[in-house]
Chain A
Amino acid sequence: MSDGAARSAPPRLELIGICKSYPGVIANEAIDLSVYPGEIHAILGENGAGKSTLMKIIYGVSSPDAGFMRWNNRQVEVTSPAAARKLGIGMVFQHFTLFETLTVAENILLVMGKSIPLSKLVQDISRVSEEYGLPVDPNRLVHSMSMGERQRVEIIRCLLQKPELLIMDEPTSVLTPGAVRTLFQTLRRLACEGCSILYISHKLDEIRELCHHATVLRNGRVVGQAVPAEQSSDSLARLMIGENLSTCQFRTSIAGEKMLKVRNLNLAAIDPFGTALENIHFFVRSGEILGISGISGNGQKELLAVLSGETRIAKPKVIHIDGCPAGKMGPAERRRLGLSFVPEERLGRGAVPDMSLELNALLTTTHKHGLQRHGWIRFSAVRQFALQIIEQFGVKSYGLNASAASLSGGNLQKFIVGREILLAPRVMIAAQPTWGVDIGAATVIRQALLDLKSEGVAVLVISEELDELMTICDRITVIANGKLSPILPVSETSTEHLGRWMGGDFTTNAESNPHV
């Protein structure tokens, strides 16, 4: 396909001098941006650089304090998402905007703006989902769907409206390599059909591969323009962060005892749309990182609940933590055995959104560090502990009294991971540790996991980011349809190979046809 977003035509979307400030933060300052028809335009920037704010302004979610917007050469005022959709702007949000108690089709019906019979819509959804390789059952209730599946619904919802400009906020973070390929083909085809795409991502390789043009934001301002294909990932990252990147330091460690053992785990699906776990069998040794990859919705949620203790198993010996049969134990008891746990959802599970950082530091640590005495909270100790997390992991916040919800995703995740690490765990389980987190924070978090490993902790990472797992793990496996693939050392496997396993085909390299 031609890389030629024909920049000679008049721009489809033009932003001139957009400013937006929130109490205490200037989110956007004098931002100019032009997006041409058929162009895939990357918006690059760390978390908190102002990308999301800018996209919300374009989509009519918030209005700018100053500046204006031109659409197909006319000045327009986009006062609401409905108005944006009417213009032909579609958006896939990073934080999903679906009603959990409705089905996929009902959710989509809500934004269609005109009345379509539900049965016709169900057909349309099935057609689009097939056409673009985004499998989704239109009649499923959203609350039972994983993050990755919800994102597919959002993408389909936009595509159904045949947009002229599609805004994608971190779209690939929950897709398999194969699905990313399909998505890219979709996006390229849309671009060829003349649709403009604003593509927000931290994944520099993807941007280099996909995007025609990139605008780089830092601290709310445009700091550079680039043609991504002509840049290296490093040079793009430098443009984005404004300093040289630190990369992960690997230290060798010797894998020791089996600290976490799961044997013959079978669990029927509790929820009608959940995944049953079948014959799961693995162990994690001290001083190694085991990665479990897979497309979301293949049993990760269920497996994590079993590991954390939120779902208990009748047979205690199915799970061993540090040699103790732990199947019947609840989360608190397992933590006392030395298990630390970083859940997938930061707000609402990893942290209490409306509580201060100080009190959030106490969340999983009530049994440790002398933070309590005879049931009384020792506030001086809690404060010190919170400060230690903030300092040691470079958490940027408005102070100890700031609510967890006021932190950016990356900073909150550093806080949560830091809290769990400072508990000095013997077994660490991290789910999606860097999901939607900027490069700087992701590096800090990965390094922290690697450091844990070299200190002799058994680390289990469940993630949908295959690249991340390939970087930090010693051994890797795939979960598909609630079953675990064979576990291989990372050096003996490849992205393509694992990608095939994610589809549920667990044949090993040797037996399978390499050309498939």
Chain B
Amino acid sequence: MFRLDPRQMPSTMMKLVSPLIAAMLMLGTGFLLFMLLGKDPVQALYLFFIDPLSNRYGIGEWLLKATPLTLCAIGLVIGFRAGVWNIGAEGQLIIGALAAGGVALFLPVAPGFLHIMLALAAGMLGGLLWAAIPAFLRTRFHTNEILVSLMLVYVAGLLLLYFVNGPWKDPDGFNFPQSAMFEPDVMLPLLTDDMRVNLAFPAAILLAFIAWIFCYRTIAGYRMQVNGMAPGAAGCAGFEQKITIWLALMISGASAGLAGAAEVLGPIGQLQPNISPGYGFAAIIVAFVGRLHPLGVILASLLLSLLYLGGENVQIQLSLPSAITSLFQGLLLFYLLAADLFVHYRLRFDLAAVQRHKTSTPEKPGL
């Protein structure tokens, strides 16, 4: 008979190992799944996880896709640690892209560098303002930020559609719903010529380190964490919950907005209806797989980025549906949450209980 015994202290070891266990289980399930679909599972997993990284271009794509995931997830981690559940990073990303795109298209500035900076700043500001809506509603009317931020994702998507179909549509674009291409001056510089990864990737890594320092070294980070772990203690100590909610949503909104700006100023180069294949939602998985730690987030976004690449690859090579990426993402999160049970509990095979059970079954409790 198996038993779950609560651990005296949460296991640090298990906290670190459980993402690995989850990844292994995800691979195992994927193996079975490909087998059931009648594909050669070894080849499929090779195409999924190894083939995409077999050349320099592929590695560039890998880092490129990890960038928006890292940026969004950093902000989410800071919020989640403070008990503020911003589920709408996707919407903040879209508004960030829209704001940055607006600056890139219509602001006449001479030097390219300044123009880029202004566009990025506009992106951050856009994401921040979009996240300010749930922050205001939560602090003023006690609305649930999960619902409000999630619903605003769809509003953001429609707003983007309006602009690319209406006022910002490229007049020379054969009536496609997209803006004109940005001037090359306002595009983020590439790291090397043979890869598409740009300056946003090292910037994201740098921001992850800054977030790490903020969470673990500063009084403000500490206060936010106390608010997340024990709101009563925070109230008693005088750490204002409102400040925590505002900070958490502003930071995560701004970083998601930056991610959106970096997407349109980087690989995309214009405004179009599809800016993100759900980076803002995948970042939630990244945050948890990364153990709500800003540096763990970097590793986790590399994993999730690989899932995007691999998903595309098997779509093309094995003609599988595009849902395969979301499926692997879902598997990963599912197994992670399951494995996290063992952070607080220990599984034991209880031989003594089995024997006691055998010997004492005949006796019915007397009444």
Contacts and interface: CB of A to CB of B under 8 A. Distances in A.
Contact of B236 (A23, A71, A74, A343): A343
30 contacts: A22-B8, A66-B352, A74-B366, A76-B360, A76-B365, A77-B356, A77-B360, A83-B365, A86-B367, A87-B365, A87-B367, A331-B238, A345-B232, A348-B230, A350-B233, A354-B10, A355-B229, A363-B226, A363-B233, A363-B237, A366-B222, A372-B219, A375-B219, A375-B220, A376-B219, A377-B218, A377-B219, A398-B9, A402-B9, A403-B9
Contacts of A363: 226, 233, 237
A406 B218 contact: no
Interface string A392-405: 00000010001100
A349 B223 contact: no
Sorted from nearest, which 5 A-B pairs have the closest CB atoms? Answer: A332-B238, A331-B238, A349-B232, A352-B230, A77-B360
Contacts of B194: none
A65 interface: yes
B245 to A, nearest CB: 16
Contact of B9 (A88, A345, A349, A406): A406
Interface size class of A (residues with CB under 8 A): 35 or more
Given A83-B365, A406-B9, 14 more contacts: A22-B8, A65-B352, A71-B365, A74-B366, A308-B236, A309-B238, A332-B237, A352-B230, A363-B226, A366-B219, A375-B218, A377-B217, A377-B219, A377-B222
A87 B229 CA distance: 39
Contacts of B356: 68, 77
B230 A353 contact: yes
A376 B217 contact: yes
Contacts of B239: 332
A375 B352 CA distance: 54
Contacts of B173: none
B357 interface: yes
A131 B27 CA distance: 64
A359 B226 CA distance: 10
Interface in A12-46: 22-25
Contacts, number: 102
A75 B363 contact: yes
B132 to A, nearest CB: 23
Given A66-B352, A86-B365, A310 B236 contact: yes
A72 B232 CA distance: 46
B11 to A, nearest CB: 10
Given A75-B363, A352-B229, A362 B9 contact: no
B343 to A, nearest CB: 11
A349 B9 CA distance: 20
A335 B229 CA distance: 22
B233 A348 contact: yes
Interface in B193-235: 217-220, 222-223, 225-226, 229-230, 232-233, 235
Contacts of A341: 236
A63 interface: yes
A72 B237 contact: no
A131 B230 CA distance: 39
Contacts of A406: 8-9
Nearest to A347: B230
B363 A76 contact: yes
Contact of B238 (A71, A86, A330, A377): A330
Interface string B318-357: 0000000000000000000000000000000000110011
Contacts of B238: 309, 330-335, 364
Interface of B: 7-10, 217-220, 222-223, 225-226, 229-230, 232-233, 235-240, 352-353, 356-357, 360, 363, 365-367
A332 B219 CA distance: 14
A290 B240 CA distance: 30
Interface of A: 22-25, 63, 65-66, 68, 71-72, 74-77, 83, 86-88, 308-310, 330-335, 341, 343, 345, 348-355, 359, 362-364, 366, 372, 375-377, 398, 402-403, 406
Nearest to A355: B229
A403 B229 CA distance: 12
A88 B8 CA distance: 31
Nearest to B239: A332
Contacts of A88: 367
Contacts of B226: 352, 355, 363
A333 B239 CA distance: 11
Contacts of A343: 232, 236
A216 B147 CA distance: 55
A16 B217 CA distance: 52
Contacts of A335: 238
Nearest to A401: B9
Contacts of A332: 237-239
Nearest to A402: B9
Contacts of A398: 9
Contacts of A87: 365, 367
Nearest to A363: B237
Contact of A352 (B8, B10, B233, B360): B233
Residue of A74, A352, A403 contacting most chain B CB atoms (<10 Å) = A352
B358 to A, nearest CB: 11
A310 B9 contact: no
A77 B237 contact: no
A88 B365 CA distance: 10
A72 B233 contact: no
A471 B215 CA distance: 45
B218 A349 contact: no
A69 to B, nearest CB: 10
Contacts of A309: 238
A366 B235 CA distance: 14
A24 B8 CA distance: 9
Contact of A72 (B225, B353, B366): B366
